[in-house]
Amino acid sequence: MESVNKREKNTHHGHAVRRIRNSMGIKQEALATDMGITQSLVSFYEQKKEIESDMIEKFARALNVSSELIKELEEDPLTIIIENNIFENENNKDTSITTNIGNYSVEDNSVSNFNPVDKIVELFEKLLEKEQEKIALLEKLLKDKK
């Protein structure tokens, strides 16, 4: 008897719409105008875990993506942390991303296109280097004490 280990997908239709919209640099107002609805209605749908199929189709057409992408896009905890820590300056342009592990700033107000995985690897390497320095220092202190 075979047992199939199925993992339930961690999807949230509203968050998927927001992630796609943000990645394309589209404001809620612009998306609402394209869809013929209000900005507050876009905000409402972005909060919903499950959106009706016909509304997903409308979002997909307005965003020029497949409706399946909205339905199947899984939540990624790292992406959520990064997205939830974006701050805007007085010109309403994204200029910095502050995470729990560091600060990354763009000074020229241009769109920041960096790979978060590369940034995590870079920060991990720095952390590893610092830990190796601590170990070397502790070994030296231990050797001096003997």
CB 78 within 8 A of CB 116: yes
Indicate the pLDDT class of residue 105, thresholds 50, 70 and 90. very low
Q: What is the mean pLDDT of residues 46-52?
A: 90
* Average pLDDT of the segment spanning 38-58: 91
Mean pLDDT over each residue of the chain, to the nearest integer: 76
Q: Could you identify the residue written with the tokens 């919903």?
A: 48
How much is the pTM? 0.50
Element (H, E) at 102: strand 102-105
Q: To which residue do tokens 């189709």 refer?
A: 57
Q: pLDDT-derived band of residue 11, with 50, 70 and 90 as boundaries? A: confident
Q: How confident is the model at residue 74 (pLDDT cuts 50, 70, 90)?
A: confident
Residues 6+ apart with CB under 8 A from 107: 95
Confidence band of 52 (pLDDT split at 50, 70, 90): very high
* pLDDT level of residue 73 (50, 70, 90 thresholds): confident
Least-confidence region, from 11-15, 54-58, 79-83: 79-83
Q: For 54, which DSSP code?
A: H
